[in-house]
Every structure is written in structure tokens, then in C-alpha cells.
Amino acid sequence: MKNIFQIGTGQLTFETLERIINENLKLELATEAKERIEKARLFLDKKIETANEPLYGITTGFGSLCNKNISAHDLNILQENLIKSHACSVGEEIKPVIIKLMMLLKAHALSLGHSGVQLVTVQRIIDFFNNDILPIVYDRGSLGASGDLAPLANLFLPLIGVGDVNYKGQKREAMSVLDEFGWAPIKLKSKEGLALLNGTQFMSANGVFAILKAQRFSKKADLIAAMSLEAFDGCLAPFMDCIQQIRPHHGQIETGNNFRTLLEGSELINRPKAHIQDPYSFRCIPQVHGATKDAISYVASVLLTEINSVTDNPTIFPDEDLIISGGNFHGQPLALAFDYLAIALSELGNISERRVAQLIMGLRGLPEFLITNGGLNSGFMIPQYTSASMVSQNKMYCYAASSDSIVSSNGQEDHVSMGANSAVKLFKIMDNLEHIYAIELMNAAQGIDLRRPAKTSPILEKIHADFRKEVPFIKEDIVLYPEILKSVAFIRRNPMDY
């Protein structure tokens, strides 16, 4: 059926994930996924019966307690205790879309058949997803090392009838929702708690959301910058293909192509110029915006590998007759990539604010602060302050979380990735970035109006006209913060396709 996605038939893609979330698709386990899950569980059960040596996290304690052997009749209690004791995430509630992505990514990872969970456990995760039963998880508490232990523990408490969920717009005790559906709490078997908690699904879900948003925003950034170029009476030469081809970074070539498309048919860009060249914030857009595109592409490739991987521990290999305690839960690949993405996105804001500053300086025939009767009117003086404040804040968020490590679990877990912190701050950068570009769009649209009767390209004229239906030309001082918020909403809602 078109409204159902089968987990376990192949690799996840960003396009698939976006469709599942945006179209509210339901999930089901493919037959081959069920077979893999049951095969691994059967292998594990037999291994426990015959093993002469301790199996980490299965017949032993966790972390620095790995030398504590657990009796056979306590193995189930061990797994429930793990979920309860590790549910220590704090802070702000995670957005519903991230919760759903976490459940989806975990179900997919478990379906690969190397985790040893019960089929009923994976099915219950899918039931939660399909019925929008969203466990309450908070955004702080993960070191991104033994996976995302604390947030994943909060995520899966409701499987055993503990914790809280959001259901039909209400915060409810998990057990009451289970009762409503006639579901008994899952009785976890050996290793299952560890399979649920070990993994990078908190980091990955945040990363998926951020990368999808960044991919869309990158094209919008080009469009808004093109409007600024027109408002500033800028030059087209730096965007010609020949100059990109002799330094052929993919993002740079793409940016140049985008600008030539956006500016085709423009009176403003094609008229004679009194100046030889533009400041770097305009002239170097292909290089700066292009480098961010390349960073987004690289991070997307890392993330795509991650979401199609098995990241819990220990890992079960039925065909090889092996149970291996390794480190696939360690978030270093994501942590480094997310810190790189943070810098790349922050730079988009950095160069945007500089274009805003150029537009309000009273250069190239534009009035100072883009307002007539200056002095009496301050015009667009203070939006640049607001933009500068957010640009500075983004620079703080560019601190590399992955460069830090704090020893945990009494020295057993002595190097951690801090990848969860890398992931969470991407939200804050993207939110600032949308506001920074909302301010640039307001300035660019004002500048284009001040260039009339000359027109920009058909594409940009259409965007300008749509924008003017919501945010007016500023003739004299008004309260500007509502207009900034309208501009943010316009950017978020408008796909700005070209």
C-alpha cells in the first residue's frame, strides 16, 4: 500500500525519511526483517544456555560493572533495571518529529538482525510510531559514547509500562495508554535493554532533521543573496561558469549556476555598472555558499551510512557463531561531522549579515539605512544589530563539542564523543539562520523597491511580489519585530523553488 513503508527491505534514504514524516506513512516489518530478528534471538538464547564464559551486558552488569556476573533468573530484571536507571535525560522536551525519527531509526537498526531482540519488542516500537504515542524525552544527558543512553532510555521506558508519553495532545502515564490499547508491557529478555539503549538514534534523528532543513535552506540562501546582489547593484561576472570551472568545487559550481538561473532576464544585473567589483560578501558568494553546500553533502554522506548501521553492543553474528563486544555505539563519526556542519551553516549567517551591513551604508545610490528622510527615521538600522547578535551567538555554537571528552562509568568509558551536544546545537544555529536571512530578505526587498522602475529577473520579481503581500515596503519608521517574524514565516513556508 502507498501509505505504508516496509522496514527491512533495503537502506533508508533521506527522501524516504522525509516522505515517511511529511506524509505520515505507517510502518510495518518486512517478512525478511522478521526472519532476521527471530534468527538472532534464537541464536542468542541458545548461546546463553551453552556459554561457559560471561557475555557482556547479557550475563554481566554494564560499563564498569562488566565483571559482575548475573544469575540466570535475574537476566530479565537486569534489562528492566537498565532502562529505568538510565532514563536520566533532562532539559527541554524533544520535538515530536525527532521522537518519531528516533523510533523509526531504532526499529530499522534492530531489523538488521544483529541485536538479539524479541520480534514483539520491535513491533511495539512500530505500534507506538503508527499510533503517534510519543514518549517524552529531553534534550540533554547523552555523551554520545555508549550510544545515546539517557535519551534512549526515556524513549523506551513506555515499552515496559513506565514513564510518560504525549498522546492525542495530552501528557499521560505510559501504562494508561498501554491499557487503552490492550497492550501488556513488554517483558524484556536478556540483552534487550542494552540493544534499545546502545545506539546513536538520538544523534542521528537530530542530524536527519538538521540535514534535511539545511539542504532546503541552502537554495533559499542563494535566492535571498541574489536579491541582495540586485539591491546592491552588484556584478554578475563572479558567477560566470568559466571562473567556477577553474576551481571546480562542486558547491561553488552549483552556486554559480543557481545565481545565473536566478538572475536571468534581470534589467538590474545587466545594466552598466559604475564600479569595477563588489565587496567579498557579494563577490565571494560562490566560494562561501559553495563550501557550505559541500559540507552539507559530506555530512549527509556520513549520516546516511550511520542510519543504515547497527550501533548497539554487543553485536550478534549468527552465521559466524559470534557475539562481539565492540564500539559501534561511539558517536565520533557523527560528532565530528555535526561540528563541521555547525561551522558551515554559521558561515552562511556570517556572510548574510555582512551583505545587510553593505545595504544600509548609503552606498551606490541607496539611502542610508534604506529609508528616506533619514534622521527622523532610523529605517533598517537596528535589524542589522539583531542579525549581528545572532551571528555572534552562532559563533559560540561553533565550539567543537567533539573536541571534549569527560570520563564516565568509573573509567571504563574513558573517551566519549559528545556527539549529542554537537547535534542539539544544530537546531539553535538553524533557527538563528532563518532569522538572519529573514532580515536580509527584508533589506533586499526594500533595496529593490528603491531601485524602481528597474526590474530584477522574473524569478526574483515573483518572490518579491509574494513577499510584499505579507511584509510591506517601509516608508517611515514602524515597529519592525512583527515584520521580521512575518519574514521568518515566509522563508519557512515558501519553498522558493527555481
Look up the CATH number of the domain holding residue 182. 1.10.275.10
Tell whether the model's pLDDT for residue 345 goes beyond 60. yes
Question: Within this chain, do residues 47 and 13 fall inside the same structural domain, yes or no?
Answer: yes
C-alpha 86/C-alpha 152 separation (Å) is 9
In the three-class reduction of DSSP (H, G, I as helix; E, B as strand; rest coil), residue 64 is classed as: helix
C-alpha 96/C-alpha 92 separation (Å) is 12
Residues 6+ away with beta carbon under 8 Å from 181: 127, 131
Question: Within this chain, do residues 182 and 327 fall inside the same structural domain, yes or no?
Answer: no
Question: Within this chain, do residues 158 and 247 fall inside the same structural domain, yes or no?
Answer: no
In the three-class reduction of DSSP (H, G, I as helix; E, B as strand; rest coil), residue 140 is classed as: strand
Q: Specify the CATH number for the domain of residue 214.
A: 1.20.200.10
Question: Within this chain, do residues 182 and 277 fall inside the same structural domain, yes or no?
Answer: no
Predicted pLDDT of residue 66: 60
Tell whether the model's pLDDT for residue 280 goes beyond 70. yes
Q: Which of 51-65, 167-181, 315-329 has the lowest mean pLDDT?
A: 51-65
C-alpha cell at 454: 528597474
Predicted pLDDT of residue 62: 59
Q: Interhelix angle for 75-86 vs 149-156, to 10°?
A: 110
Question: Within this chain, do residues 121 and 168 fall inside the same structural domain, yes or no?
Answer: yes
C-alpha cell at 69: 556476573
- Domain's final residue, options 177, 199, 221: 199
Report if residue 97 sits inside a domain. Answer: yes
**Could you say which of 56, 340, 397, 437 is catalytic?**
56
Mean pLDDT of 382-408: 96
User: Residue 495: is it exposed, middle or buried by C-beta count within 10 angstroms (0-12/13-18/19+)?
Assistant: exposed
Predicted pLDDT of residue 53: 75
Question: Within this chain, do residues 418 and 340 fall inside the same structural domain, yes or no?
Answer: yes
Predicted pLDDT of residue 112: 97
The mean of the pLDDT values for the chain is: 95
Report if residue 498 sits inside a domain. Answer: no
Domain that holds residue 72: 4-199
Question: Within this chain, do residues 31 and 10 fall inside the same structural domain, yes or no?
Answer: yes
- Domain's final residue, options 199, 234, 258: 199
Instruction: Write down how long the chain is.
Output: 498
Number of domains forming the structure of the chain = 2
Question: Within this chain, do residues 155 and 212 fall inside the same structural domain, yes or no?
Answer: no
- Domain's final residue, options 155, 183, 199: 199
Enter the pTM of the model.
0.95
Report if residue 223 sits inside a domain. Answer: yes
Q: Which of 62-66, 143-147, 184-188, 206-210 has the lowest mean pLDDT?
A: 62-66
Predicted pLDDT of residue 67: 64
Tell whether the model's pLDDT for residue 27 goes beyond 80. yes
Locus of grid cell 538479539:
116
Predicted pLDDT of residue 351: 98
Residues 6+ away with beta carbon under 8 Å from 48: 55, 58, 59, 72, 75, 190
At residue 70, φ and ψ (nearest 5 deg) are -115, 135
Locus of grid cell 539503549:
197
Question: Within this chain, do residues 179 and 211 fall inside the same structural domain, yes or no?
Answer: no
Contact present, 27 and 104 (Cβ < 8 Å): yes
The question of whether 56 is a catalytic residue gets the answer yes
Confidence of residue 58 (pLDDT cuts 50, 70, 90): confident
Tell whether the model's pLDDT for residue 1 goes beyond 60. no
Confidence of residue 2 (pLDDT cuts 50, 70, 90): confident
Report if residue 263 sits inside a domain. Answer: yes
Rg, C-alpha atoms of the chain:
26
Tell whether the model's pLDDT for residue 56 goes beyond 80. no
Tell whether the model's pLDDT for residue 72 goes beyond 80. no
Question: Within this chain, do residues 192 and 211 fall inside the same structural domain, yes or no?
Answer: no
Mean pLDDT of 230-237: 98
Question: Within this chain, do residues 187 and 219 fall inside the same structural domain, yes or no?
Answer: no
Question: Within this chain, do residues 212 and 79 fall inside the same structural domain, yes or no?
Answer: no
Mean pLDDT of 298-326: 95
